[in-house]
Structure 1
Amino acid sequence: MLLDVIQGVEAGGFILIQDTVSCTGRGILKCFINAALKRGEDVHVLGFESPETEVCAGVDSSCVQKLHFHKGFPDPLGWTCRSSFTVDRFTSQHITQLIKDTEHAKASILVVDSLSLVLRHHDPVVICQTLQELRKGGVIKTIIGLLHSDLHQQGVVGIVCHLASTVISVAPASNERHALAKTTRRTKSGKVMQEEEYFNVSEDATLSVQAKPHQPGQVQKEANVSEADPTSNLTFNLHLSEEERKAKEKVALPFVFSQEKKSALLRPTPGSGRIMYEPDANDDFDEEDPDDDLDV
């Protein structure tokens, strides 16, 4: 699933790469950039944590002209005026105008490296609103963000993950040559797909993926659970013998009428269904004027 997400970035999506200090997700981020450039798409990088030389390292040199790096490193807060893009300009208006000012501007891919630095200096709710506005603005095709989850409270990480259409969480694996990626993808229909895979990023920013094998112990455990009979230790019997079943079928239910009772209820009797009325002396009925007793 990870390779499919990288090779075919869906329009209007927000892809979140979630890493920790024990395992970096910057390699997968570079694979996204390289794959998008090879597809001929324009990529705008808001580089707050890494210099341009590090982001471009390993990227296909024939497509590097479509990579637009907006310098936020090494002065992301604008204290020394050495950066062309600072954290306080992370708004939908500034970013949209930044992309529109690019020559031959079209729907582009926005890469935020990283969202952690932005979230440390802005209200998380405001950042989520900005991301949502950028997704619906039409100028940006896809947003790809890197988030260091161990730098934030779980509530902040949760709301950002809830906003994303795809979340890729990386973690170290027992094999030093690989790392583990857990991909959670939510489709437009609301279906959620999840898969764990081992991955490795080469020097030319290409990704190799290997499916995580199932643990034999877990499969055996699930089989044992499915074979267990929950009625084996009951003090009463839930099953009927053949004789008990036949005796049960012969018992007449109280709400079911027998044929004899139906016939008795439906059989007509003399005088049934007639209403007899005998007028008394107080009745004043005039056949010529039936409404004479009414005060009209």
Structure 2
Amino acid sequence: MADSICRTLRDGALEGELAPTLTIKDSLASPFGFHLFSHILLQLSSHVMAQKSQSQAIVIVALSRSPSSYTALLNMNGVDIASSNKWIHILDCYTDPLGWKDKTRKSVNVTDPSHQISLATSSYKTVKDVDKLFSVITELGRGLVRENKARFCVAIDSLSELLRHASLQSVASLVSNLRSHDQVSSIFGLLHSDLHEERAAAVLEYMSSMVGSVDPYHHSADGQRGYLENSLPEQNFTKGKFNVRFKRRNGRVRAMCEEFKVEPGGISFTSVSSGDGTAIAGLLPKVQFNLQLSEKERIDRSNVVLPFEHQGNGKPIQIYDGRRSLEESNSEANPISSVKKEDSAMGEIIYFRDSDDEMPDSDEDPDDDLDI
């Protein structure tokens, strides 16, 4: 499944369509979102280097990690830092996001760590200005790909940090503008969902074509969840479940789940059997109406009397179904001699079949539950 995400981001956007967007959600119960973010970043980097990706460059918007940490990450995984400057650029929103350190440097001599970074890096010191941030990201991307029709990928390591400094509307506008930009191939970002209201997470999920939720690993030995409320199991410190919801262009939603394990050499994934329904139970998108009935609603529904339904007056129910025997047909050969119902104060409609082979009427009651 993680491979499916990487392939979708690698293949990029079709002509005239929005760029595929992935939002990774984690929480304090399973804080492995950045591990998954790093895994996807490394996979896309390898595709870009091998020229197997629609995007020819990557712009990393660093909000929660220093640029030096990305240098170490890429270097540790065998990426040539010297040549990577041609296809990767870091927009440093981490070192001085609000420009406060500039004021400090006027009175105190502070070394600028950006000069010690090997990767191509640009500082951005007005994170609150999201419109300007969009312009800077697109300018950096165009500077990397150079060609007019070439595309680049945008990686945002913390949407939560953006939401700290800017409004939800402006952050949503940034994502929307990036998706619709004709040179953006794909977008992926990380959101710490437990730090925000449900509305913020719902808006970003709505704007994403893929949503990945990082959930704790629950050890189930007897069918019950082994997750303790007061203390996390040992497995939750190294393992977890990655639930992903893919939104297709035709409107359908496909849900998948994988287990992952964080190891010193990286992160590994194992598929979850289809019989494990608990992994996919909560993946359906949240709607504003309830699709299930409560016990009281079921009882109330069963007590509703439908039109023409038997009222239960105690008399035997005899419903004509067009299948009377030959004796009954002969006894009713003369309509004048037909017997009227005891309680009937009105006329009757007497029906004669043309032959015994005639099929039952279309208004028959196969379930025998209507007063007709």
Q: Deviations over 1:227-249 (max 9, x none)?
A: xxxxxxxx98xxx99x9883399
Match of 1:158 among 175, 194, 202: 202
Q: Distance in 1 between matches of 2:242 and 2:41?
A: 18
Find the counterpart in structure 2 of residue 172 from structure 1. Answer: 216
TM-score by length of 1: 0.69
**1:142 aligned partner, one-letter code:** S
- Find out whether 1:52 has 2:67 as its counterpart: yes
Alignment check: 8 A CA contact 1:30 1:55 kept: no
Q: Distance in 2 between matches of 1:193 and 1:217?
A: 16
TM-score by length of 2: 0.56
Find the counterpart in structure 2 of residue 100 from structure 1. Answer: 142
Alignment check: 8 A CA contact 1:46 1:85 kept: no
- Find out whether 1:20 has 2:27 as its counterpart: yes
Distance verdict in 2 for CA 1:215–1:205, change over 3 Å: closer
Following superposition, the deviation at residue 189 of structure 1 comes to: 1.4
Match of 2:190 among 140, 143, 146: 146
Match of 1:122 among 162, 166, 178: 166
Find the counterpart in structure 2 of residue 110 from structure 1. Answer: 154
Find the counterpart in structure 2 of residue 84 from structure 1. Answer: 123
Runs of 5+ consecutive residues of structure 2 not aligned to the other structure: 14-18, 49-55, 103-111, 113-121, 219-234, 280-310, 333-347, 355-372
Q: Distance in 2 between matches of 1:217 and 1:185?
A: 18
Following superposition, the deviation at residue 89 of structure 1 comes to: 4.4
Find the counterpart in structure 1 of residue 78 from structure 2. Answer: 61
Which shows bigger deviation, 37-46 or 61-70?
Answer: 61-70
Q: Distance in 1 between matches of 2:25 and 2:173?
A: 19
**2:202 aligned partner, one-letter code:** G
Find the counterpart in structure 2 of residue 74 from structure 1. Answer: 95
Runs of 5+ consecutive residues of structure 1 not aligned to the other structure: 219-234, 260-296
Find the counterpart in structure 2 of residue 246 from structure 1. Answer: 323
State the secondary structure of the residue aligned to 1:144: strand
Distance verdict in 2 for CA 1:210–1:6, change over 3 Å: same
Find the counterpart in structure 1 of residue 295 from structure 2. Answer: none
Find the counterpart in structure 2 of residue 262 from structure 1. Answer: none
**2:23 aligned partner, one-letter code:** L
Distance verdict in 2 for CA 1:61–1:90, change over 3 Å: farther
Q: Distance in 1 between matches of 2:203 and 2:325?
A: 58
Match of 1:195 among 242, 256, 264: 256
Following superposition, the deviation at residue 71 of structure 1 comes to: 1.2
Q: Distance in 2 between matches of 1:43 and 1:217?
A: 36
Q: Distance in 2 between matches of 1:8 and 1:216?
A: 25
State the secondary structure of the residue aligned to 2:270: strand
Q: CA RMSD in A?
A: 3.6
Alignment check: 8 A CA contact 2:212 2:245 kept: yes
Find the counterpart in structure 2 of residue 35 from structure 1. Answer: 43
Following superposition, the deviation at residue 74 of structure 1 comes to: 2.5
State the secondary structure of the residue aligned to 1:247: coil
Which shows bigger deviation, 60-69 or 117-126?
Answer: 60-69
Q: Deviations over 1:140-190 (max 9, x none)?
A: 111111101111111111111111100001022133442111101101111
Match runs of 1:209-224 below 5 Å: 209-212=270-273, 214-215=275-276
**1:95 aligned partner, one-letter code:** I
Match runs of 1:256-271 below 5 Å: none
Q: Deviations over 1:199-251 (max 9, x none)?
A: 12444545423325635999xxxxxxxxxxxxxxxx98xxx99x988339989
State the secondary structure of the residue aligned to 1:142: strand
**Equivalent pairs: percent with the same residue?**
20
Q: Distance in 2 between matches of 1:113 and 1:217?
A: 29
Which shows bigger deviation, 1-10 or 127-136?
Answer: 1-10
Alignment check: 8 A CA contact 2:145 2:152 kept: no
Q: Distance in 2 between matches of 1:73 and 1:186?
A: 32
Greater than 6 Å deviation, 4+ residue runs? 248-253, 255-259
- Find out whether 1:181 has 2:242 as its counterpart: yes
Distance verdict in 2 for CA 1:217–1:22, change over 3 Å: closer
State the secondary structure of the residue aligned to 2:128: helix
